């Protein structure tokens, strides 16, 4: 199953076709996902105490995972999930090349930022060059 909790998905089949929402729960054994605002079911709850009132509660129900497509956060399109190995880790990838795994994309961004920070640290050569210029002018 290529859908995970907190993914933004688009429903592509069924009564709620075209609805976009966030995945609230997944069930890999049953191959189902619960998406907010999709397949809303009404449940009647009886008052159990004297100060409570009976009510009708609405909750989203499960739909088959094959009826949803993951929406890419960078390009905003619903896409089939591809898998790729990046830095020795298998990750989910969009067709545009963006990483769909949020936890891994944060780590990759942190590594890129760390690499960018390492580049300006090579100032020792510039200082050495300035010292040679000052010795030559004296």
pLDDT digits (tens, 9 = 90+) for 54-97: 999 999 999 999 999 999 999 999 999 999 998 888 999 999 88
The answer to whether the predicted template modeling score (pTM) of the entire model surpasses 0.75 is: no
Name which of 131, 117, 110 is nearest 102 in CA terms: 110
- Domain 1-79 in this protein, CATH class: mainly beta
Mean pLDDT on 5-34: 96
DSSP state of 42: E
């Amino acid at each position: 199953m290529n859908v995970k909790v907190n993914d933004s998905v688009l429903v592509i089949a069924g009564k709620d076709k075209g609805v976009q929402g966030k995945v609230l729960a997944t069930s890999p054994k049953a191959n189902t996902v619960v998406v907010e605002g999709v397949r809303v079911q009404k449940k009647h709850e009886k008052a159990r105490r004297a100060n409570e009132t009976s009510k009708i509660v609405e909750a989203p129900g499960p739909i088959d995972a094959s009826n949803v497509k993951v929406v890419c956060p960078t390009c905003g399109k619903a896409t089939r999930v591809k898998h790729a190995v990046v830095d020795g880790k298998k990750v989910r990838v969009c067709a545009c090349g963006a990483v769909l795994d949020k936890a891994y994309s944060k780590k990759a961004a942190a590594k890129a930022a760390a690499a960018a920070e390492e580049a300006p640290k090579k100032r020792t050569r510039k200082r050495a060059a300035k010292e040679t210029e000052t010795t030559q002018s004296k």
